[in-house]
Amino acid sequence: MNEIVCPNCGEDEYLKGDSKESRNAEKVTIICESCDIKWERDLTPRCPLCSSEDLRVAVRSIVDKSRGTQLSIQSLSVVYLCPDCDAEQLTLWNQSNTPLPPHELPYDID
């Protein structure tokens, strides 16, 4: 995920987003509470590696331990896959049509 920072002062914590103010479902107005600058952020998904907007929608499972060491899918998250940069994951999704496995599994901290 791309980090959002104020283009004026570099603030990355005290930012407020308002989709109603922008009146555009594909953009959100960001307000920096440090320097009071406003700007619109485009919500169109882009590949973080090549910046392509030609992405495919898939779902990835989020797992957690339900009993002892048994892993269960707790929820699903929508992911956007680039046909060039995420070709392996996209092939897996297209062939199985089941949720993609999580990037990492839960573990016990002792």
DSSP string, 53-103: S--EEEEEEEEEEEETTEEEEEEEEEEEE-TTTTHHHHHHHHHH-SPBPPS
For 61: left if phi > 0, alpha if psi spans -120 to 50, otherwise beta; the answer is beta
Give the pLDDT of residue 104: 79
Report the relative pairing of strands 27-32 and 15-18 from DSSP bridges: antiparallel
pLDDT tens, residue order, the chain (110 aa): 457 889 999 898 999 987 765 566 678 889 999 999 998 888 888 898 998 999 999 999 988 887 777 788 888 999 999 999 999 999 999 999 889 988 877 776 54
Give the pLDDT of residue 2: 56
Measured between alpha carbons, how far is 108 from 101 in angstroms, rounded to an integer?
19
The size of the chain, in residues, is 110
Phi, psi of 38 (to 5 degrees): -120, 140
Only one residue has tokens 């989709």, namely: 19
Give the pLDDT of residue 106: 73
Give the pLDDT of residue 109: 54
Give the pLDDT of residue 1: 45
pTM over 0.75: no
